[in-house]
Amino acid sequence: MPRIVLSWITLIWIILSIFSLSTIWISLISSPWLVRTDSAESRLLSDCPTTTKLPSFHLTASENSQASVLSPSIGPWMRCQSACSPQTDLWSPFIQMVSDSNARCQLAMWGFGNRPAKGNGVVWAAAGLCLFSCIFLSFSEFFVILSLCKREICGRSMLSVTGSLQGFADLLLIFGLLLWPIGWESVTVREVCGGAVGPYARGNCTIGWAPICAGVGALLLFICALLAMAVDKSITTHAATRQMLLEGETCVFVH
């Protein structure tokens, strides 16, 4: 039967690992990395007319109400904008309701083969690095849970292997996050932020909440990689092993 050794630092490591995984995934599948700055005039032009029924005369009247409009935004993976009506021509089927307006989203790399640009390859590389980072991060999270009941893998400590995976995933993520702004001159980013964009020049856009969320997740992941080494030392001490063997317990909490 597997024997489990826990400590306070182990619990902190597990919680931070889960939180960093969730934070990074949420940020990367979100589009508010670069959000277009709209003026009052552009918002007025982009308002969608709404159709309302007059119940007393059973007539249909169209009025220009100020429906909530989602500013176009783009990230390494996704881009979103408002649509007056749901359309699925070249857009992905991820259509959701945002206030009174439909938001339609698609992959941020859509159309790169048809409209090549110098920065497109850089954006592709950055998105790929972030994707591989999330894959390694998901594997490391599986090892985090597995390390509770399995001490070694291929002759190496499960905790040290997990910490190495977390550190490698963090490096890939950081490289991807630093590389993505270099490709802001790509076609898709220009469509959202205008022609003034360039490497680390955001043009007519502002920084959204998603890159901040990704940065926090990367920092937490780095802390988790360091904590994995501390966890390995805290639960592999002679005292913890002796206590488990003498008492015959399957779960020991080391204070």
More confident residue, 186 or 238: 186
3-state secondary structure 94-112: CEEEECCEEEEEEECCCCC
pLDDT above 90: residue 195: no
Residue 248, domain member (yes or no): no
Residue 249, domain member (yes or no): no
Residue 135, domain member (yes or no): yes
Residue 184: which CATH number? 1.20.140.150
Determine the pLDDT at residue 82. Answer: 74
Determine the pLDDT at residue 250. Answer: 63
More confident residue, 26 or 10: 26
More confident residue, 59 or 6: 6
pLDDT tens digits, 213-244: 999 999 999 999 999 888 877 766 656 556 65
Residue 255, domain member (yes or no): no
pLDDT above 80: residue 7: no
> Among 60, 213, 231, which residue's Cα sits nearest to residue 158?
231
Say how many C-beta atoms besides its own lie within 10 A of residue 90's C-beta.
8
Residue 251, domain member (yes or no): no
The pair of three-digit structure tokens given for residue 105, joined into one six-digit string: 């989203």
Determine the pLDDT at residue 124. Answer: 86
Average per-residue pLDDT for the chain: 76
SS3 139: helix
The pair of three-digit structure tokens given for residue 165, joined into one six-digit string: 């995976």
d(CA 194, CA 105) in angstroms, rounded, equals 19
pLDDT above 60: residue 90: no
Q: Which residue's entry shows tokens 């994995």?
A: 228
Say what the pTM is.
Answer: 0.76
pLDDT above 50: residue 45: no
d(CA 17, CA 156) in angstroms, rounded, equals 21
pLDDT above 90: residue 68: no
pLDDT above 50: residue 100: no
Determine the pLDDT at residue 251. Answer: 65
For the chain, what is the domain count? Answer: 1
Mean pLDDT of the 130-146 span: 91
Which stretches within the chain are classed as H helix?
A: 8-28, 40-46, 120-146, 158-179, 187-193, 210-235, 238-247
Give the pLDDT band (50/70/90) at residue 107.
confident
Residue 225, domain member (yes or no): yes
Q: What CA dihedral angle connects 7, 9, 13 and 14, to 10 degrees?
A: 20
Residue 45, domain member (yes or no): yes
Residue 129, domain member (yes or no): yes
Domain containing 140: what range?
Answer: 4-53+60-240
More confident residue, 121 or 42: 121
Least confident of 21-30, 132-141, 182-191, 206-215: 182-191
